[in-house]
Amino acid sequence: MGESVNLDPLFRPSTVAVIGASDKELSIGYRILHNLSTYRFRGTLFPINPKVDSILDYKAYPTIMDVPAEVDLAHIVLRNTLVPDIVEQCGKKGVKVVIVNSAGFKEIGAEGTALEDEVVRIAREYGTRVFGPNCQGVMNSDEAVGLYANFTFTPLRPGHISLIAQSGGVGEVINNRLYELDAGVRLYASNGNACDISIPEILGYMGRDDGTRVIIVHIESLSDPRGFLEAAREVSRSKPVLAMKSGRTEEGAKAVCSHTGMLLQQETTARMIFKKAGVQYFSSHEDICQTAVGFACQPVPEGRGVGIITNTGGPAIIATDELIEAGLEIPSLSNKAKAALEQELHPAASVSNPIDVLATGTPQHFAAGLRALLSEDDIHSILLHFVTPFFVDCPAVAGEIAAVGRAAEKTIASVAMTNKEIWAETLRIVRESGIPTYDFPETAARVLARMTEYGEFRTAARDEHPEERFEVDVEKAKRLLDKKNRGPLPAEDVFSLLECYGIRTVVWKSAHGAKEAIQAAEEIGFPVVLKIDSPEVIHKSDAGGVVLDIRDSKSLRLELERMQDQFAAEDQLYLVQSFWPGGIEVIAGAKAEAGLGHAIMFGLGGIYVEVLKDVAFSLAPLSRREADKLVRAVRAFPLLLGARGKEGADIYSLREMLLRLSQFVSDFPRISEVDLNPISAGNTREATAVLDARIIL
Amino acid sequence: MGESVNLDPLFRPSTVAVIGASDKELSIGYRILHNLSTYRFRGTLFPINPKVDSILDYKAYPTIMDVPAEVDLAHIVLRNTLVPDIVEQCGKKGVKVVIVNSAGFKEIGAEGTALEDEVVRIAREYGTRVFGPNCQGVMNSDEAVGLYANFTFTPLRPGHISLIAQSGGVGEVINNRLYELDAGVRLYASNGNACDISIPEILGYMGRDDGTRVIIVHIESLSDPRGFLEAAREVSRSKPVLAMKSGRTEEGAKAVCSHTGMLLQQETTARMIFKKAGVQYFSSHEDICQTAVGFACQPVPEGRGVGIITNTGGPAIIATDELIEAGLEIPSLSNKAKAALEQELHPAASVSNPIDVLATGTPQHFAAGLRALLSEDDIHSILLHFVTPFFVDCPAVAGEIAAVGRAAEKTIASVAMTNKEIWAETLRIVRESGIPTYDFPETAARVLARMTEYGEFRTAARDEHPEERFEVDVEKAKRLLDKKNRGPLPAEDVFSLLECYGIRTVVWKSAHGAKEAIQAAEEIGFPVVLKIDSPEVIHKSDAGGVVLDIRDSKSLRLELERMQDQFAAEDQLYLVQSFWPGGIEVIAGAKAEAGLGHAIMFGLGGIYVEVLKDVAFSLAPLSRREADKLVRAVRAFPLLLGARGKEGADIYSLREMLLRLSQFVSDFPRISEVDLNPISAGNTREATAVLDARIIL
């Protein structure tokens, strides 16, 4: 879907009308025209204002109908109640996209929602797309376009970072920070209530834009989670997508609702979407901006090995800590590289990794260090620290760094520890070579870690096979599920459904009444477990509806009598299972997420899930890699490998069970919940089976 | 100790000699004199250089002996091998402190260590104190002093943040960033190898300096952990101490060793010291600098309630998330405050907390919002967001904010989302009122959280009673410990020692040979546990030296026969204990940390400690508050409260046990290790006891 949407009239219009353009300098209607003019929009501008002849030397027109040309984009700055009529005029005029800057729509409640619905209805009638309302607008720094359809203040400067923000305030904070960092922004979009043109559509467009190398997204609430997932997943196969999301806490989420009029979104859902789509998650503006700068000007590292070069010891240690904590590696240098460095550097210099060229390091020293690191096979990115001493020719050092950097095919980031006024020239030389200059070692190290992580995601995503499908009995499963409309299924059907999908269960038999139950137990063999099979009895164990480890017919008979007394008539339905002691108790589950499919859950049972909340989630359908990660994501994973002399679990069987569960719920979207609890996880495939389960429609 | 040290000759000298001063502009000897001169040192400068008559218009002297005045401070910039002789001259001259800038000492190995020891020996002989070597120097921005005894580049600007950094590079990064943030630095010290004047001494001096409001410390390795702990603890009762430490990872720690020549320090040790001393720990330069700015210009909040005011929605939501995640609170407004705001704000404004005055918010709107928040009893700090729209008189808004802020007694931090060039005046007005202006909502929120956390620590530290002492039998414990020099103690002595300190143990008896063992068991009552009591058998359980749940004399006799066969002669020493099933298995321990006393450990037993590594540490001697925090610090703490229908543990008994353990090891520094493993934790005092223990000298 997102694929085919053409947002060129929004981001690359030939003609822009500003409806509500004003000649009053402190008005938004003036500011938008002023910005479009200041940043030299390359197309034609039409202020619409019935009261004046011209604004800022542009001839004004009384209405959009009077404009003597086709209009690609109309930016509407009028009171909310006027908007429907104006959109109708735009529709009649054939305007392709309208930006509705005005507030007073969904975010103010029922009345505003009705107004917003009206706007959408009218626009659809004419095939006009709507951006907003209650939004800032868009920008495009492409020199062929020069579009600043926004009332804010950050100057437009060409670059490779594109930016989508639901909240205009947050968008401007990010835009402004990128400006301060000397990084240009390519496309900017802040679409507020997003009644029509959506974040997934914009994301897809940015993904296809050649000038965009990395995309920052700030989200408050995902109105179309599935659409976002699909768009982000597609884009992140070729370009990194970096995200922030407000409303992580309950209090924050409530604030989002009152700010945007959107529904409350679970933080965990957003995290699952980001993970599945390969979107990197940030909780700090500074980090997201600095990371975007790295992606915008350097290639993605092809491995985890980092070479460090420095002219001061302390900061290199900080970088080492950060890199190692982030899972990167600092490989030793080869003897060849060491020998070369011993020749070229000062005798007191350190010729290991990190290379310390000393505070007196010359341009040649830095160049030699860089060349040595670039020639090492197991070094994939370079972290260069450069403090600017008064007694060194710093611009010359920068010149050598720039020369080596320009020719390099590996990722280079630098930490420039300097007074930015005194050494402005030095900084400029390094930056113009495409090497980003960070203020702090930990910043550069974290950026390299994020870039490396993205490289690994991209490789894995490209190598990933389509979702694995097991041979299963879909037809039978469908028949079983069709027996019921909603609510929990009877245990017999639950176990049959799991069988259809090859999810191993303990040996079981369904039995009507005591006689059949005893017969079943004898066929299965003692010891057995007896369970009452009644959807009405929810907490079976607590209610006395489950008895474990029944060793003979006599005991079974006694229990059956007790249950008959307690629960029901003589033809009560029972489930008789083989009793499995031992095995590690694990749990798995699936839960439908509104508009998104199912989340698959995995964890260890008992206290691990109930007290330590040690469970992990991943969105279905799972790939083999995702299922594997899910099993390994719980803190108690070492127990599955076998700990304290106890046997571990067969990880592969657990992974397969999760994949089959994923296939099952993906085939049947009407399933609301599946609980496999507990699963007894043994050290072979045969010793791993579901002991109890629940399915709710 | 730190109390009495007077570092005035270092930080407030009347006369400074630069030994090795040079007229060559690219030399360090020139740069130091130049910096002292540029930043207008208020005392007298004496360049020492036998080859020239004057440098930078200061008369030069051939040697320090030729200076016609007393010299408080000599800054030495000479080759390492020349330093001992020069220090001797300084000693003879009566110089009070020397800064040894030169490298080539302990950090280069044995030869340099010898040279460094020589310098210290000579200096001590003359009572001269040494700062360095292999260091940058010191600065003092006090207008009465104006001392820039350092070769770096960050301009000196008066302020209230003082800074100690072992690494000069890191110190300069922090100093430079504070300069960029428009924050002045009061005292600066980077003492490199720290052969004499130590970080604890400097910290104590800064603590007593009236112009210092907050102290930043960057550490690579603590050479005197106990001294640091004591100094930091003392200082942080009146001023916040913020710390960073390099060498968190093994790789980083190794780099520290080769950089400073210091011993490898455990990261956990540093964290324990910081926690006990109330030192706030940071892993980012940006965070530590921003937090210092907050402390430097605003009072410490007296509670967790935060009021938010904004003129843009999105960023306030981000702040809400951060504040809540940090444990702060965003109280609702009183009806009185709401009523006042409804009168004063725009009808569409939001009169809850956060208060949204809308993008069109006027100076009066902001002032009304601030006043409302200031008058609420349960609001202790205010987070003000201010995006600068073109259509608002921003300097006037700033003026109102400044006026209210100046008179306020609560903590105020602001987030100014703006172009710093266009609205420079607006920013200046706010800052000059003492309200810090942060770029991002999360930054300001995190700073408020740190400030609140410090306020709580300070209150708790002031209220804290001296360490609780239980009545114990120290004399008997001393006699028992004196029986042995080193190694593990016999079980009988271990249990007796615990008894001396009132640490409840299971009922036990020591027995020589089988006969006594049987008698003991009968006195105690079956079931019992039988343990071999031999320091030689370390892993008793694995070796078959422990048998649980022996139910009668006959079984006991069989086990005794087996043990006699397996281990020893007939007079084997045994420990017979009452067998306790049930109870939650917890562990506690103490371990001597070099130069620091003991660390007390607490956790749940079994997989919690072995697989999940879920243990917490705190330095002895513990206060009641620290012991309480220690018990609550483990992730599995909810299990102690009782979970899944099981009984919980008596937290107070566990806390008391930790306090008694702390008192025990603090009384006997020669104890190297105590393990109380397991402790059976029941739901009463009587049901909580040590089942097995080990003490090593």
CA neighbor of B321 nearest in space, from B439, B444, B435 = B444
Cβ–Cβ below 8 Å for B252 and A315: no
Question: Which residue type sits at A63?
Answer: T
pLDDT in tens, B291-305: 999 999 999 999 999
Distances (CA, A) of B680 to A691, B86, B579, B627: 32, 65, 11, 18
Question: Considering only A323-332, A479-488, B37-46, which range has the smallest mean pLDDT?
Answer: A479-488
- List of chain B residues whose C-beta atoms are within 8 Å of the C-beta of residue A638: 611-612
Residue B154 scores a pLDDT above 70: yes
Q: Which of A130, A35, A28, A31 is nearest to A87 (CA)?
A: A130
Q: Does the structure show a pLDDT above 90 at B465?
A: no
Residue A490 identity: P
Is B263's pLDDT higher than 50?
no
Of A315, A324, A611, the CB nearest to B638: A611
Q: Which residues of B touch A153 (CB under 8 A)?
A: 388, 390, 418-419, 422
Question: Which of B155, B256, B320 lies closest to A252 in CB terms?
Answer: B320
Alpha carbon of B168 to those of A348, B73, B191, B228, B285: distances in Å?
18, 20, 8, 19, 14
Query: Rounded to whole angstroms, how far apart are CA atoms A269 and A249?
Result: 13
All residues of chain B having their beta carbon less than 8 Å from the beta carbon of residue A389 are: 151
* Beta-carbon contacts of residue B384 (< 8 Å; ≥ 6 apart): B308, B309, B310, B366, B370, B401, B412, B413, B414, B415, B435
Nearest alpha carbon to residue A518 among A437, A576, A452: A576
Strand, helix or coil for residue A14: coil
Min mean pLDDT across B31-45, B340-354, B430-444, B632-646 is at B632-646
Question: Å from B149 to nearest chain A CA?
Answer: 15
CA angle B573, B577, B583 (to 5 degrees): 145
Give contacts of A321 with chain B, Cβ < 8 Å.
246-249, 251-252
- A364 compared with B677, residue with greater pLDDT: A364
Closest CA to B632 of B658, B663, B610, B670: B658
Q: Which residues of A touch B148 (CB under 8 A)?
A: none
pLDDT for residue A259: 54
Structure-token pair, residue A258: 């009152």
- Distance separating alpha carbons of residues B561 and B559, to the nearest angstrom: 5
Nearest C-alpha of chain A: how many angstroms from B165?
A: 10
Of B172, B422, B644, the CB nearest to A611: B644
Task: Give the tens place of pLDDT for each residue, A264-289.
Answer: 446 778 889 999 999 999 999 999 99
Name the residue of chain A whose CA is nearest to B638's CA: A611
Which chain A residue shows the shortest CA-CA distance from B32?
A: A390
Element (DSSP H or E) covering residue B628: helix B624-632
> Strand pairing of A73-76 and A15-19?
parallel
Residue B262's pLDDT is 47
Q: Could you tell me which residue, A257 or B211, shows the higher pLDDT?
A: B211
Task: Indicate the pLDDT class of residue A566, thresholds 50, 70 and 90.
Answer: confident
Share of chain A above pLDDT 70, in %: 96
Any idea what DSSP says for residue A305? B
**What's the pLDDT tens digit per position in A215-241?**
999 998 888 889 999 999 999 999 999
Cβ neighbours for B66, distance < 8 A, ≥ 6 positions apart: none
Confidence at residue B569, expressed as pLDDT on a 0 to 100 scale: 62
Label residue A184 left, alpha or beta by phi (over 0 means left) and psi (-120 to 50 means alpha). Answer: beta
Q: How far apart are CA B357 and CA B369, in angstroms?
A: 8
Instruction: Please tell me which of the candidates B151, B283, B643 has its beta carbon nearest to residue A442.
Output: B283
Instruction: Give how far Cα A238 sits from Cα of A5, A364, B324, Å.
Output: 19, 37, 36
Span B676-695, mean pLDDT? 89
The structure tokens listed for B27 are 């030399």
Of B108, B325, B439, the CB nearest to A249: B325
Pick the range with the lowest mean pLDDT from A329-333, B226-230, B539-543.
Answer: B539-543
* Nearest one of A225, A241, A157, A208 to A4, comparing CA atoms: A208
- Provide, as residue numbers in chain A, all residues whose Cβ is less than 8 Å from the Cβ of B440: 173, 177, 284-286
Instruction: Give the model's pLDDT for residue B532.
Output: 85
Cβ–Cβ pairs < 8 A, chains A and B: 225
pLDDT (average), residues A614-626: 90
Burial per residue of A10-41, b for 16 or more beta-carbon CB atoms within 10 angstroms, e otherwise: bbbbbbbbbbbbbbeeebbbbbbbbbbbebeb
Confidence (pLDDT) at A598 = 92
Tokens 């768009």 correspond to: A231
Q: Which of B225-229, B251-255, B362-366, B441-445 shows the lowest per-residue confidence on average (mean pLDDT)?
A: B251-255
Give B619 to chain A, closest Cα distance, Å: 25
CB atoms within 10 A of CB B195: 23
**Chain B residue whose CA is closest to A244:** B318
Q: Which residues have CB under 8 Å from A118's CB, separation 6+?
A: A84
Closest CA to A165 of A249, B287, A154: A154
Chain B residue numbers touching A612 (CB-CB < 8 A): 635-636, 638
How far is Cα A454 from Cα A299, in angstroms, rounded to an integer? 11
Q: Answer whether residue A251 shows pLDDT above 80.
A: no
Q: Please state the rounded mean pLDDT for residues B651-657.
A: 93
Structure tokens of B349? 């404004």
Residue B609: closest CA among chain A residues belongs to which residue? Answer: A644
Are the CB atoms for A26 and A8 separated by under 8 Å?
A: no
pLDDT at A538: 67
Q: How far is A478 from chain B (nearest CA, A)?
A: 37
Distance from the Cα of A122 to chain B's closest Cα (Å) equals 27
- A512 — pLDDT class (breaks 50, 70, 90): confident
For residues B243-266, average pLDDT:
67
Mean predicted confidence (pLDDT) in B113-123? 97
Mean pLDDT, rounded, of chain B: 91
Chain-chain contact of A350 with B31 (C-beta, under 8 angstroms): no
User: Cα–Cα distances in Å, from A153 out to A142, A168, A219?
Assistant: 18, 12, 22
- Which of B221, B390, B392 best probes binding to A when mutated, by most A CB atoms within 10 angstroms? B390
The secondary structure of residue B64, as a DSSP letter, is G
Q: Which phi-psi region, left, alpha or beta, contains residue B559 (left: φ > 0; alpha: ψ -120 to 50)?
A: alpha
Name the E strands within B7-101: 15-19, 44-48, 54-55, 58-59, 73-76, 97-100
Percent over 90 (pLDDT), chain B: 68
What is the pLDDT averaged over residues B18-42? 95
Minimal CA separation from B179 to chain A, in Å: 9
Answer whether residue B51 shows pLDDT above 90: yes
Residue corresponding to tokens 């949204």: B356
Partner residue opposite A285 with nearest CB, options B247, B350, B442: B442
In which region does residue A21 sit, left (phi positive, over 0), alpha (psi from -120 to 50) or beta (all else)? beta
Residues in A closer than 8 angstroms to B165, CB to CB, are 314
Question: Can you list the positions of beta strands (E) in A335-421?
Answer: 350-351, 355-356, 381-387, 411-417
Chain A residues in contact with B172 by the CB 8 A cut-off are 387, 417
* Residues B86 and B109: beta-carbon distance below 8 Å: no
Strand partners, A588: A602, A676
Asked if residue B402 lies in contact with residue B408, where contact means CB atoms within 8 angstroms, the answer is: no
Residue B255 pLDDT exceeds 70: no
- Of A117-131, A494-508, A562-576, the range with the highest mean pLDDT is A117-131
Q: How far is B386 from chain A (nearest CA, A)?
A: 10
More confident residue, B618 or A467: B618
Give the pLDDT of residue A467.
67
pLDDT in tens, A338-359: 999 999 999 889 999 999 999 8
**pLDDT > 90? residue A44:** yes
Query: Measured between CB atoms, which of A246, A248, A315 is closest to B173?
Result: A315
CA distance A379 to A330: 8
pLDDT tier at A212, thresholds 50, 70, 90: very high
Query: pLDDT averaged over chain A?
Result: 91
Facing A255 at nearest CB: one of B170, B218, B316: B316
Whether pLDDT at A663 is above 90:
yes
Of all residues in chain A, the percent with pLDDT exceeding 90 is 68
Q: Which of B280, B239, B307, B290 is nearest to B446 (CA)?
A: B290
How far the first Cα of chain A sits from its last, in Å, is: 29
pLDDT at A264: 41
Mean pLDDT of A537-558: 82
- With an 8 Å Cβ cutoff, are B639 and A168 in contact? no
A153–B108 C-beta distance less than 8 A:
no
Angle between helices B394-407 and B424-432 (to 10 degrees): 10
**pLDDT (0 to 100) of residue A257:** 61
Of A172, A250, A325, the CB nearest to B417: A172
- Strands A280-282 and A306-310: what pairing? unpaired
Mean pLDDT of B262-275: 74
* Residue bearing the bigger pLDDT, B262 or A650: A650
Cβ–Cβ gap A153/B418 under 8 Å: yes
B259 has a pLDDT exceeding 60: no
Which residue type does A588 have?
A
pLDDT band at residue A262 under the 50/70/90 scheme:
very low
CB B133 within 8 A of CB B163: no
Helices (H), A209-249: 225-235
Q: Which of B197, B191, B29, B270 is nearest to A314 (CA)?
A: B191
pLDDT at A609 over 90: no
**Average pLDDT over every residue of B387-403:** 93
- Which of B218, B255, B388 is opposite residue A316, by nearest beta carbon? B255
Taking CB atoms and an 8 Å cutoff, what residues of chain A touch B112? none
Interchain CB distance below 8 Å, B317 and A165? no
Collapsing DSSP to helix, strand or coil, B599 comes out as: strand
Burial of B51 (C-beta count, 10 Å sphere; 0-12/13-18/19+): exposed
Shortest Cα distance, chain B CAs vs residue A286, angstroms = 8
Nearest residue, CB atoms, A607 vs list B246, B610, B643: B643
φ/ψ of residue B689, rounded to 5: -160, 155
**Closest residue of B to A359, CA-based?**
B169
Residue A86: is its pLDDT beyond 90?
yes
Write out chain A residues lying below 8 Å of B389, CB-based: 151
Using CA atoms, how far apart are residues B77 and A186, in angstroms rounded to an integer? 51
A354 to chain B: nearest residue by CA? B255
Contact A313 B167 (CB under 8 A): yes
Q: Can you tell me the distance from the alpha carbon of B132 to that of B171, in angstroms, rounded to the nearest whole number?
A: 14
